[in-house]
A and B are shown apart, each in its own frame.
Chain A
């Protein structure tokens, strides 16, 4: 399929994005995943469901999020205009709430009475805890011990919102282990619990559901672009860990071949195994967390430890649709080192008065490079997926090192 062009009409009924995706989970979860698939399709076509979600996104989240011209940053780079899609201005400070509200509504629709989630940076955990508080659902969030340490403000927020945060001490004590633990909980609790997965990863139908709920980002960006300039942006840039903000941003542009789409992985400290978290750049196709996609594995199929200073990107796998976009060449995937992202964070803070999340700072860094190579007549849109308040302490610690 390598030469086929990408289409937005994926996945198929088996959850395949080209060769990627599918469902590699224990049999115990099959019935729940089948039920979720059916219920989600019904909800998608249910006017009432869509209206309820749209109402929440407008009045509770504060959508549409603005498309903001980063004038001083643009001047600093010299070249194309840099625009921020301000997902950081959403309620709870990131794009994650778009998905958790949708999945919380699905939870109620399916008659399930408890929610579990995993979180890396804590943004998805906070967004899940928020949605659960809003709908009166009990909520348990699994979070790696390392992430509990480096994203402490979000742990506190989750608890204030009434969620139980369960630190995960196994493996690398990061996002990957939090997903393992949430899956294990779900293996036992699947009859009455919905697992609100936070990214476009996991078994079918999760990658599709999360992408669809996040696609509001790209759809708004399209409309705002047309309103502002009467045309689509020249390039769109987003960071990719599991890849939910990027999937939501890119998907509405997939069939517009003229729009360059650039996904930015975490380049960490360097190019050696264990120094980065960039499976699309350095990994191979394999199985992790229920789907077939690019992953950092050793020659035996054991998942490798990865590194990023950003907890939300510190993940050895990536959503299967990103693998599809890579294979078809529709999206260009690059990576950005910790120090480059940190510089982008500083420049954005100093020139725009905005603290981007460390995750989003990776996208800003590449957008700045991209802008320099393009004429001033073009617009480069960055998905500013979250705000950086949660990172303040960790940044202070990293700068002191």
Chain B
């Protein structure tokens, strides 16, 4: 069992839901990323997604794109990111997973990516451009190494296909709330709750919803049907204020924001 499996079985036994923030590695630098992740762990977040900057992220909206561009402009390297995350994982128990393009994994080498990520204490990967049809080789490596490969289901995924994706996924299943790219939304699709509830009956795998979530209303709507909620752009946007506010201020703001959303989850 990976640390993600342990996390969800514990949360389930306590009847609780996971809150999962997303942070871009190296925005604006790795030291700050470490501080933010430590803060998020301290506030009680259950799992943290680390975005590995990529030059051509087609699933990402302007906020996360801009954070990747900022990080890459400083010539950030994968080796430095993993080294820095390795230091964080030695001090926090909150599992980390990387959100990473297959372009990066392929270039690094499939086995080598998993080995290096595991050595840094990373529990798994979400690979937004790796479909189940193309995932066989990487999936085999991940299974062998007990490294979770979290697959995505979207509103355009036919139901039979969703079941197949659920079978291939390990750790949890990422349910993309909207047909579109990452970024905050004021309203979410009306059939979202029904679709997740249907899937909930088909698989034992934890289901976590992401894309668009930014308010206590969203959290209250979705927490009852999911095992966890993922909040990305709303956090990255706050981190992005690094040039106009002090780092302590931003960290505090991010901490308070996540605490506010988390308390809505247990309402």
Contacts and interface: CB of A to CB of B under 8 A. Distances in A.
A binds B: yes
Interface of A: 14, 22-32, 170-171, 176, 180, 183-184, 187-188, 190-191, 286-290, 292, 297, 299-303
B26 to A, nearest CB: 12
A287 B176 contact: no
Contacts of A25: 58, 129, 131
A315 to B, nearest CB: 12
B103 A288 contact: yes
Contact of A301 (B107, B131, B134, B181): B107
Contacts of A22: 133-134
Interface stretch (B83-91, B150-158, B225-233, B258-266): B150-158
Nearest to B61: A184
Nearest to B155: A28
Contact of B56 (A26, A28, A288, A292): A288
Contacts of B181: 184, 187-188
Nearest to B77: A300
A401 to B, nearest CB: 28
B14 to A, nearest CB: 31
21 contacts: A23-B133, A24-B129, A24-B131, A24-B134, A25-B129, A26-B129, A27-B131, A27-B154, A30-B131, A170-B65, A170-B69, A171-B56, A176-B56, A184-B59, A184-B60, A184-B61, A187-B181, A188-B179, A300-B107, A301-B54, A302-B72
Contacts of A170: 65, 69
Interface in B146-177: 151-158, 161, 165, 176
A187 B106 contact: no
B257 interface: no
Given A187-B180, A300-B108, A302-B53, 6 more contacts: A27-B151, A30-B161, A170-B65, A180-B56, A191-B156, A301-B104
B78 interface: yes
B72 A26 contact: no
Nearest to B57: A180
Nearest to B153: A27
Contacts of B102: 24, 287
Contacts of B54: 301-302
B55 interface: yes
A192 to B, nearest CB: 11
Interface string B168-194: 000000001011110000000000000
Contacts of A183: 58
A164 to B, nearest CB: 19
A184 B58 contact: yes
A28 B55 contact: no
A30 B153 CA distance: 11
A288 B107 CA distance: 11
Contact of A302 (B55, B59, B165): B55
